[in-house]
Amino acid sequence: MRNAYISALYDIAKRNKQVMSLNADIGAIVFDKFKSDFPDRFVNVGVAEQNMIGIAAGLASCGKIPFTYTITPFITARTYEQIRVDVCLQNSNVKIVGVGAGLVYSTLGPTHHAIEDIAIMKTLPNMKIVSPADPIESKMATYAIAEIKGPVYFRIGTAGEPKIYDENYEFTFGKGVELKHGDDVTLIATGSIVYDTLMAAKELELKGISTRVINIHTIKPLDKDIILKAARETGAIITIEEHNLEGGVGSSIASVILEESESQIKFKRIGLNDIFCSYYGTHQELKTHSGIAKEDIIREVINLIKLKDKQVK
Each residue's pLDDT tens digit, 118-131: 999 999 999 999 99
Q: Are strands 177-180 and 152-156 parallel, antiparallel or unpaired?
A: unpaired
Q: Among residues of the chain, what percentage have pLDDT more than 90? A: 92
- What is the model's pLDDT at position 30? 87
pLDDT score recorded for residue 313: 52
Mean pLDDT, rounded, for 107-119: 95
Q: Is the pLDDT of residue 210 over 80?
A: yes
Q: How confident is the model at residue 279 (pLDDT cuts 50, 70, 90)?
A: confident
Torsion on CA atoms 214, 218, 224, 230, rounded to nearest 10: 0
pLDDT at site 27 = 73
Whole-prediction pTM: 0.95
Q: What are phi and psi of 226, to 5 degrees?
A: -70, -30
The answer to whether 228 and 237 have CB atoms below 8 angstroms apart is no
User: What residues does 180 pair with on adjacent strands?
Assistant: 213
CA distances in angstroms from 217 to 42, 74, 101, 130, 190, listed in the order given:
28, 22, 13, 6, 6
Q: What is the pLDDT of residues 49-100, one digit of tens each?
A: 999 999 999 999 999 999 999 999 999 999 999 999 999 999 999 999 999 9
- SS3 assignment, position 118: helix
What CATH number is given for 2-156 in this structure?
3.40.50.970
What's the Cα-to-Cα distance from 194 to each of 185, 199, 273, 295, 297, rounded to whole Å?
15, 9, 19, 14, 11
> How high is the pLDDT of residue 220?
98
The mean pLDDT of the chain is 95
Q: How confident is the model at residue 29 (pLDDT cuts 50, 70, 90)?
A: confident
Residue 285 in this model has a pLDDT that exceeds 90: yes
**CA-CA-CA-CA torsion for 202, 204, 206, 209, nearest 10 degrees?**
-120
Rounded CA-CA distance 205/75 in Å is 40
Task: Assess whether pLDDT exceeds 80 at residue 225.
Answer: yes
Considering only residues 262 and 5, tell me which one the structure prediction assigns the higher pLDDT.
5
Asked if residues 191 and 242 have their Cβ atoms less than 8 Å apart, the reply is yes
In the chain, what are the domain boundaries? 2-156, 177-312
Instruction: Give yes or no on whether 2-156 and 177-312 have one common fold.
Output: yes
| Domain 177-312 annotated CATH 1.10.10.10 | no
Do 293 and 275 contact (CB within 8 A), yes or no? Answer: no
HSE of 61, CA atoms in CB hemisphere, 13 A: 11
Q: Is the pLDDT of residue 312 over 80?
A: no
C-alpha to C-alpha distance for 66 and 51, rounded to whole angstroms: 13
CB under 8 Å to 213, separation ≥6 — which residues? 178, 179, 180, 182, 186, 187, 189, 194, 197, 198, 201
pLDDT in tens, 163-191: 999 999 999 999 999 999 999 999 999 99
pLDDT in tens, 152-167: 999 999 878 899 999 9
Is 77:256 a contact under the CB 8 Å cutoff? no
